Structure formats: structure tokens, C-alpha cells
Amino acid sequence: MHSYHTIENCFTYFTENTEHIHLPPKFTYPFYYEPHPLCVMAASQLQDHLLSQTDWHHDFGIDHYVEGTNIGKMFGVLVVQKQGGELGFLSAFSGKLGETNHLPGFVPPIYDLLNKDGFFKIEENLISDINHQIEALENEGAYLLCQKRCAEDISQSENELKEYRQFMKVAKDQRKLYRNKAMIELGQHQFDILTEDLKQESLKHQYDYKVLRNQWHDTLARNQKELDSFVLKIEALKEERKTRSAALQQKLFDKYQFLNKDGISVGVSEIFAQTAQLVPPAGAGECAAPKLFQFAFTHKLKPIAMAEFWWGQSPKSEIRRHKSFYPSCRSKCHPILGHMLAGISMDENPIQAPTIADDNMKIIFEDETIVVINKPAEFLSVPGKETEDSVYLRMKQKYPKATGPLLVHRLDMSTSGLLLIAKNKEAHKNLQRQFLNRTVQKRYVALLDGIVAEDEGIIDLPLRVDLDDRPRQLVCYEYGKAAKTKFKVIARENGKTKVHFYPITGRTHQLRVHAAHPQGLNTPIKGDDLYGTKSTRLHLHAEFLEFKHPTTGEPIKLNVEADF
């Protein structure tokens, strides 16, 4: 064990008095939480340490821009109790920091990938050597010359054979003309002689073509044999690299064994075999949360509450705000923490909890064809992975004779406002066509957590899902889908900005990301737990909807003001 990672070095006592703070009755639900006061205190104490410590250096880009990746970092604190009841906390960072996994005051990794004497680094160096060998062979002068000669000879052979076939075609047409003319002008004996001559000429051309083709076949075969002598060496090295990489990955998976409170250890491969992913994603187990629990359970410490916060400069594609708290990532941590926290009494998952009463989902407009409701915030439009309750389910129960998909469009769970429902397939098809043709007019109102300088404009930032942390979205110019939003400021007061959003496209979390991202308005929507700071609710509301009635064609305009 590294001397940094004794319990004496990793267990941190609170510097402030905590007697007035009640311990939480249940442990934090890691994927949606309000930080407990003890976690806020622990995070503040760790942040002070990050600013004052001199044992190591890393430029987090807090007050200036730093070029590169992995500048900012996610940190975690886990409030724990020793067996004697002493209260303190553990600290961790995700991945590595300052090119190391070992820093004083922080818990160790599950496995140290950076240990130069460990199997991972040793095997990684061997694989790196193979990469260098492959690169050297692929850039060897004789190999490149052979490749060039092969390509040139293939091209020349194709051209020569094509030209000779064209010559044979012209000669054949010419012989046909000679024959036709000779039939008129020559006697039978002379005609027979000419015919035989023409036949022999045809046979000679065919023979010469065959000789030419065989010559090129032999030349290309010799070239290919020479080329194969290089290619086989390269392919053998690539196969060795593939085999070594797979074996290394499996050996690494075997090293990632995760404990729970009962001391039961389960490997990362076994954990992810029960998920849709099947195979652990890169970096599984390297986040702060699994490190914290591993150390706590190893040293018989009781977890009380946890929180994770971002420190420093945000990655270009993501939205991470300095000192803001964030939930644990889902793709990597959700399966792992499912095992590690087994048997621990935990706060309720708000998505699984009962949500709304029927009278909270008010009907704004209804006739025999369509329904428009005012969806409350924090209620799903359609069933999710963890709960069936949704607008769709409620509408299906309310209108059992309705046909078709019912919902014409969706609103994010956290967004309130006007939602359009069709009672039959024909109406649904008509209304969806209006949405696809972008003839439906939509307006959202949002309260932003800060002052926006511009009065109006268009935000154009392509979006894609964060594969490591669904449903978060990333700005991605390479793989993202086009996303455009028109905005107009309608009020500024008390350090907040109220805006109207007019979405030109309809991507997941489009308005939330466009508001919060530095290349957008750089001002998150108030209460945005994913891209800003959690509050009582997300202050985003779909307040206006205009469309043509699917049956009558009459324009329908509906407006419901937000309650903020």
C-alpha cells in the first residue's frame, strides 16, 4: 500500500463544528440529489485545500483558459463514520491528476494503471513496441516502393489490356467491312483465301491478347508475392497486438473488483454482463464514487452521505461549472454502484417515486379529435426505463378508445407546458406532418440564472448524446445533429434574465444546452440539475402553441403562462 493511502492519511476530520447538523436518515441517491449540509461542508473544506496545498501542481484553468484536455476535474467527497462513531470524510478525484493516481489526502484507485512496475504498464509498453514495429514496417522504403510498383503495374496492365481489346474490336469491324466488300468484288476462290487470312488474323489477335494478359498476370503475381512478404509481417504483428490487447483488457477487468458493505467482491465484467452494454466501458471504476466506496468498505467505514463537484475549466463539449455539484455518471457508475450500495438504505429515486395527481395535468383544449394539456414539470411525456407513469399512460387510461400513438410531440421530463395529443391515427399523422414541415409555431419561456447581455439572436450548436452519461447532451461539431434556437430577452431583474425561446429544431435538451453552454448564452436555466444548479424546478415552460386543426384546418392558438 502506498503511504498516502493509510486510513490516517485519507480520513479527514471536519475543521468546523458539525454537532448542529443532523445526520441524514438515508444515504444519498447518487444519480439525483441535493447535497447534504455535511457534504457541502466537506466539499468546501476540500476546495480550500485544493487552493492552498503545495504538495503537487495542476493548472485547473480556474481564472484563465488552459489549452488541452483533462484540465478541470470531478472530485467527490464521502462523509463517513468510523466504527467508534468519529465523523469525517474521504476525498477522491476521477481518473488521474497531475499524471498520477496517488496524491496525499485522496483515496487510491481500484487498480493503479500508472504503476510502472505493474502488469498493465509492462504489457502496455510491449504493445507500444509492437505499434512502433508496425509503423516502421509500414513506412519502410522497400515496402512503399513495392506498394507503388504494384499500383502502377495494375494500372498499366488494365490500360494495356483495355487498349488491346479496343484494337481487336476495331480490327474485327474492319475485317467485317473487308468481307462484305469482297463478297461483291471477288470470285469464290479469292474470297475463300481472304476469309482464311482474316480468320488467321483474328486468331493471332486473340493469341497475342492472351499472351499479354498472361504476362501481366505473372508480373502482378510476382509483385503481390513480394508485397505479401511485407504485409504478412505487418498482419502478424497486428494479430499479436490484438491478442495481447484483448488479454490485457481481460486481465485488467479481473483487477477491478468492487466491494459492498457486506464485504462481497464482484468483478467489473460480471457487473456489466447484466447490463445492455455487456462489456465494461473504458474508464469503468475510475470515477470518484467507486474509489470512495471501495476505500470505505475496505476500512470498515460507514457511508453517511456523498456529493461530487466539478473543479476548474469545463471541457469544450460538455457543460461543467466550477464548484457545481453533479450526480454520478450513469453509463459507468450506475451498474457499479448498484452492487456497491446494495443493502444500504437510500433516498428514493425521484423518477420512481409517485409524481402527480390527475388534476395537476390540466386540459387546455379538447374536442373529438385532439387534446392539449398543460404538462407539469418533473413528469415524463412517455414511459421511461424506470417508471411507466407518464402523460402517455395517463392519456391511454383516460381515452381507452383512442387509436394511434397519442402523443404528437414530447417535452423533457423537467419542462412544463403545452403538449398536443391526437385521439386517432389520422389526426396524429396530420399533426406530425405539420411538425416535420415546421409549420407549428412554438414558444418557450425560461428564467436564466444570470444576466444575458444580448437582446436577441440565434444559437447554432450541434448536439449529440453523452454516451458515458445519458441523457446529458454534448456540443459536437463532428457527430452532432444540427440544433438551432432563436431567443429574445423579455426582462432582466434581480440578477436573472427572462427569455423567449423559439426552437428551430427539436433536439433533446436543446434549449437547456443552448442556454448553458459557453458558446450559447453561457447562462443556465434556473433549476437545471444537469447543466446548471438544482432548484425547486427547471424554470422552462412551453407557453405558446399554434397549429392547424387536423380535421377542420382552422388555426388554433393556445397560450398558458408559466408559474414563475
Catalytic residues: 412
Q: What's the grid cell of residue 558?
A: 393556445
Contact of 545 with 408, CB cutoff 8 Å: no
Alpha-carbon separation of residue 56 from 103, 317, 400 (angstroms): 8, 28, 65
Strands 456-460 and 484-493: antiparallel
Q: What's the grid cell of residue 159?
A: 490500360
Q: Which residues contact 563 (CB under 8 A, 6 or more apart)?
A: 416, 541
Q: For residue 322, with 0-12 CB atoms within 10 Å meaning exposed, 13-18 middle and 19 or more buried, which class applies?
A: middle
- Three-state SS sequence of 45-84: HHHHHHHHCCCCCCCCCCCCCCCCCCCCEEEEEEEEECCC
Q: Which residues contact 455 (CB under 8 A, 6 or more apart)?
A: 488, 489
- Three-state SS sequence of 169-187: HHHHHHHHHHHHHHHHHCC
Strands 416-422 and 540-548: parallel
Instruction: Please state the φ and ψ torsions of residue 27, each to the nearest 5 degrees.
Output: -75, 155
Q: What is the DSSP string of 231-257?
A: HHHHHHHHHHHHHHHHHHHHHHHHH-E
Mapped onto helix, strand or coil, the DSSP state of residue 142 is helix
Q: For residue 213, with 0-12 CB atoms within 10 Å meaning exposed, 13-18 middle and 19 or more buried, which class applies?
A: middle
Q: Which residues contact 150 (CB under 8 A, 6 or more apart)?
A: 220, 223, 224, 227
Return the closest-CA partner of residue 516 out of 445, 459, 443: 459
Return the closest-CA partner of residue 530 out of 441, 482, 463: 463
Instruction: Please state the φ and ψ torsions of residue 300, each to the nearest 5 degrees.
Output: 55, 40
Is the link from the previous residue into 376 a cis peptide, with omega within 30 of 0?
no
Paired residues of 79 in beta bridges: 89, 305
Q: What is the DSSP string of 183-231?
A: HHHS-HHHHHHHHHHHHHHHHHHHHHHHHHHHHHHHHHHHHHHHHHHHH
